[in-house]
Amino acid sequence: MHMTDAAAVLPRTPLQKRVLVVAIVASFIAILDGFVVNLALPAIGRELGGGLAIQQWVVDAYLLSLGSLILVAGSLSDHFGRARILEWGLGGFALTSMMCGFAWNGEVLVISRALQGIAGALLVPSSLAMIITSFAGPAQSKAIGQWSGWTSAAAIVAPLIGGVSVDLVSWRVIFFINVIPAAAIWPVLVRLRASDTARDKHTGIDYTGAVLAMIGLGGPVYAFIEQGRLGWGSWQVWGPLLVGAIALAFFLVHEGRTTDPMLPLRLFAIRNFGWGNLATLAIYGAISLGFFVLGIYLQQVGGLKATVAGIALLPGTVILMLTASYFGGLAGKYGPRWFMTAGPVLCGIGFLLCLSVQEPLNYWTQVLPGQIVFGVGLATLVAPLTAAILGAVPSEEAGISSAVNNAVARIAGLICIAFAGLIVGPVFTRQGLLNALVVTAVLFFVGAAASAVGIRNPTPGPVTADGGDAAAA
């Protein structure tokens, strides 16, 4: 038996089991809350008011702080220790979830969601880092696979949790239930503190980069959301837009010069990493926009109950969970390039099939076929995309490359949802939905084009010093 085979069958130690449970639960609730509110937005709008703008902010406030801080959170876990940062994140997430649940108006809910995103940013990179440092060899690959599978499952249960909560009790339940898993794993996490220490006390933390990133993203997001209410001529719109653009420019300059950047720009010189993240930006922006508008339309215009709307949007994700490993195996054999090209094309076609939606809504002929095609496309691209990006960098930088890709995906959703008001108009109508479906399909096609042009199937061999394409997938 080869050494790798022997390692694959070694039983996990109690410590490794605890690490895996904590990592999965912590990441699960952070990813879950990025999706679970979508089907609750109409109910939130009815109770708290504020129209489409508040609905956009309920989603984007969370994604803004999560996407802006998820990279610097990795540095914090290196500096203070993974378990300690997870404790801070988990405690903060439970507290801010309670704040969201008790929110008495839209503004309080938005502020609470932004704080919840800060806590969520502490959970994801630290949980993955704990797995990487606690497992090695084939056992590490298997653990990361389980972590990825469970966090992906958050997208499956989120619509059901959101829909059932709204229909049976209240939208507030979707936030209160976060306290249960947080409390359940807290004793296990405390026991991990003794076995986890800071890895590098001398590594700097890029606080300046984090502040510039939040201002650079927050300014344009505020402008695009509020322009529908204030108009482009208002200084409250063009002012934040200008400040955000300047902050983003300073952010890029700062990241290129600082010795401990939260976003290592040199990684983007690696072909598959750079083009893969460009594809991620388009693809995950499309997913966020498409499901944001579909979830609201099916309820506000289509007349579906929240639970039914959640079930209606499940087929694509179920197909992903059932077939992603199969397509991942094919991509491992033939290379990721054409899977990353064909997958987004199918996703785009799936959303174009939904252009047949009209009143009265017929889910079986107008929505379901598109969801099935979308699901096949999503399964085709997800595993190859991850393999292409992580396989392009040296293994010792897999953690930061994964964090960067995760941040890009969150920021893509943040930007596209901010644009939703421009695309669909101030009130959801069938024409607004059709506009959003076309934009969603175009974004998928852009992701396919980026993959076809930029991605190269890796060849066996080590990663070259200049980040060439010789990375083993």
Residue 11 DSSP label: P
Residue 67, pLDDT > 90, answer no
| Residue that is written with structure tokens 């009143």 in the block | 359
What structural domains does the chain harbor? 15-195 (1.20.1250.20), 207-259 (no CATH), 265-473 (1.20.1250.20)
Calculate what percentage of the chain has a pLDDT beyond 70. Answer: 88
For residue 10, what pLDDT is reported?
Answer: 52
What are the tens digits of pLDDT across the range 87-136? 899 999 999 999 999 999 999 999 999 999 999 888 877 777 777 777 77
| Measured distance CA(242)–CA(87) in Å, rounded | 37
Supply the pLDDT for residue 283: 95
Mean pLDDT of 128-147: 72
Residue 462 predicted with pLDDT over 50:
no
CA 312/CA 367 separation, integer angstroms = 8
Confidence band for 399, pLDDT divided at 50, 70 and 90: low
The runs of H, that is alpha helices, within 81-105 are 82-101
- What is each CA distance from 258 to 10, 196, 218, 313, 358, in whole angstroms? 42, 28, 22, 44, 53
Q: Which two structure tokens, joined as six digits, stand for 222?
A: 């505020």
| Three-state SS at 468 | coil
Residue 150 C-beta-side C-alpha neighbours within 13 Å: 19
Query: Does this model's pTM top 0.85?
Result: no
Residue 4 has pLDDT above 50, yes or no: no
Under 8 Å between Cβ of 189 and 90: yes
Encode pLDDT of 355-395 as tens digits: 998 888 888 999 999 999 999 999 898 878 877 887 788 76
Q: Are 346 and 375 contacting, i.e. CB atoms less than 8 angstroms apart?
A: no
Where does the pLDDT of residue 155 fall: very low under 50, low under 70, confident under 90, or very high at 90 and above?
low
- pLDDT tens digit string along 213-236? 889 988 898 888 888 777 888 888
Using the CB atoms, write b or e for 283-321: b if 16+ within 10 Å: bbbbbbbbbbbbbbbbbbbbebebbbbbbbbbbbbebbe
Which of these, 257, 253, 260, 256, lies nearest to 78 by C-alpha position? 260
Whether residue 360 is preceded by a cis peptide bond, meaning omega within 30 degrees of 0, is yes
Residues 6+ apart with CB under 8 A from 323: 376, 379
Q: pLDDT value at position 443?
A: 97
User: Which range (58-72, 268-282, 336-350) has the least confidence?
Assistant: 58-72
Task: Read off the pLDDT of each residue in 200-209 and give the average, rounded to a whole number.
Answer: 73
Model pLDDT, residue 390: 75
Instruction: Examine the pLDDT at 323 and tell me if it is beyond 80.
Output: yes
Of 317-326, 416-425, 447-456, least confident by mean pLDDT is 317-326
The whole-number pLDDT of residue 466 equals 39
